[in-house]
Amino acid sequence: MAVISSFAPDVEATWGHSWKVVTMLIMFGIITYSVAFLTAETRLLGGQLEAASDKGFDYIVQFIDDHGNYSIPSVTENDLCFFFKLPLILYTGGKLREAHLVLDYIKDNFMQSDGDFRTSQTVKACHPTHSSYYTYSNVWITLAAHRMERYDVVTPALAYLEQYNKKFTTEGPPSEGHTITTMFTLAQHGVLALQIGDILTASRAARLIKSIIQQQPNTDSGFYYKLNKSKLITEFPESLAHHFFVNRTAPDQIVLLVGKSAEFLAKYSMFTGNAYYMDLAKGIISWLSTCDESMYTTVSSMKVAVDASWVGAFSGDSVAKDMAARISSYLLSIQNADGSFPGHVTFMPGNAPEISYSMRVVDALASLGNE
């Protein structure tokens, strides 16, 4: 197992990038509309992912009413955690009407006067993770609103997020004394910055992720993913290890907290034409491929399947493509006949619809480069 030297050398050779914006738009277009011209024989898993995602989207929309309320049986309360992913998921699946209805519902019920999104003044959302990763739901909503050209939502949402665009603090704004950031938060904000064309913010995020990688003492044992004032956090109580560290050989690790950076760095490389960051992205995927096999049978790894798909699509990396395929095969295997997924398989409330989204993205990106 290679240590940190397995990642890209610290040399930033720059390619020409006059085509960068066109490339990004084409990639997002492929995600939204899929690639119907390929035969089942040439598509990943014989085209089953698209069919399964369609079934999943159809299951979701039957529970969305004309006011955008989502009343699936597992939704036990009017809480942001059940709604914030739906606009992007539905828009990606071609359910544009329902995507707009739910975004309206979010605007009317959860959007605050400052552009933040909360269930109430005292509660961010139903799971503690939403407070620990405060802007996680904000970025999902803002990405969707921007793609949907809903400037009534995206303008105040971006104004709220502006305060995070230098230090990228994870648990709340810097003005409240927060100083810790994570690879996942950096990657999320970086992806949003690329989508809206904010290259300065994206570059800050990319450099901080590079710093996290360069500060790793030894990746044989695992990966530290948090910074405090630009310094890697390597000391913490053993009982809280999963909040700071992904153990390479232990089962059931939260690998998505490292994996998201691979997606962002691959996109950043394509946007800027800088091959160095693609090498970093491939290095992250290579490291993840050495982690415990439980990664391939964990629903939360649906995010890693998407991350790996972006790296594979942009670079042709076979390790990334195989990772996406293996995780997606598992996701296919757990879908119910009606398009739903067992409630117990998701770590957080409101996560099940993301499985259909992940399968759709993986299917589309796997088709790139096929003839």
Q: What is the mean pLDDT of each run of 10 residues along the chain (371 residues)?
A: 52 45 49 47 88 98 97 86 97 99 99 98 90 97 99 99 98 97 99 98 99 98 98 97 97 97 99 98 99 96 98 97 98 96 73 96 86 47
DSSP class of residue 250? S
Q: Please give the pLDDT value at position 26.
A: 47
Query: Rounded to an integer, what distance in angstroms lies between the CA atom of residue 81 and that of residue 95?
Result: 20
SS3 content of the chain, % helix, strand, coil (to 5): 60, 5, 35
**Radius of gyration over every alpha carbon of the chain, rounded to an integer in angstroms:** 19
Alpha helices in the chain (DSSP H): 20-33, 48-61, 86-92, 96-109, 129-132, 136-147, 151-161, 183-196, 199-215, 256-272, 275-288, 302-315, 318-333, 353-366
In the block, which residue shows the tokens 């800027």? 272
Could you count the other beta carbons within 10 Å of the beta carbon of residue 236?
14
Residues in the chain: 371
Report the pLDDT value the prediction gives residue 228, as an integer from 0 to 100.
98
CATH 1.50.10.10 fits domain 25-366 = yes
pLDDT confidence of residue 73: 82
Residues with Cβ within 8 Å of 301's Cβ and at least 6 positions away in sequence, in order, are: 255, 256, 259, 295, 327, 330
Q: What is the pTM of this model?
A: 0.90
Return the pLDDT at 36: 44
Q: Hey, which residues does 310 pair with through a beta bridge?
A: none
**Predicted local confidence at residue 41, as pLDDT:** 55
Domain residue ranges of the chain, discontinuous segments joined by +: 25-366
DSSP lists the bridge partners of residue 180 as 228
The residues, any chain, with a CB within 8 Å of residue 33's CB and separated by 6 or more, are 94
Give the full edge-to-edge strand order of the sheet including 226-228.
Answer: 180-182, 226-228, 231-232
pLDDT at 336: 96
Q: Is residue 168 within 8 Å of residue 192, measured between CB atoms?
A: no
Task: Indicate if the alpha-carbon torsion angle 64, 67, 73, 79 is positive or negative.
Answer: positive
232 beta partners: 227
The one-letter code for the residue type at 29 is: G
Q: What is the spatial distance between Cα 88 and Cα 102, in angstroms, rounded to a whole number?
A: 10
Give the C-alpha separation, 365 to 131, whole Å: 32
Q: Tell me the C-alpha distance between 288 and 223, whole Å.
A: 10
Taking the C-alpha atoms of residue 287 and residue 6, their distance in angstroms, rounded to an integer, is 9
300: tokens are 């939360």
Instruction: Please check whether residue 140 is in contact with residue 84, taking contact to mean a CB–CB distance below 8 angstroms.
Output: yes
Among 370, 369, 363, 328, smallest CA distance to 92 is for 363
Residues paired with residue 97 on neighbouring β-strands, in sequence order: none
Q: Are 177 and 227 in contact (CB under 8 A)?
A: no
Residue 97 CA to residue 91 CA, distance in Å, equals 8
DSSP 299: G
Do 196 and 165 contact (CB within 8 A), yes or no? Answer: no
A 10 A CB-CB count for 338 gives 10
pLDDT of residue 371: 47
**Alpha-carbon gap, residue 337 to 52, rounded angstroms:** 10
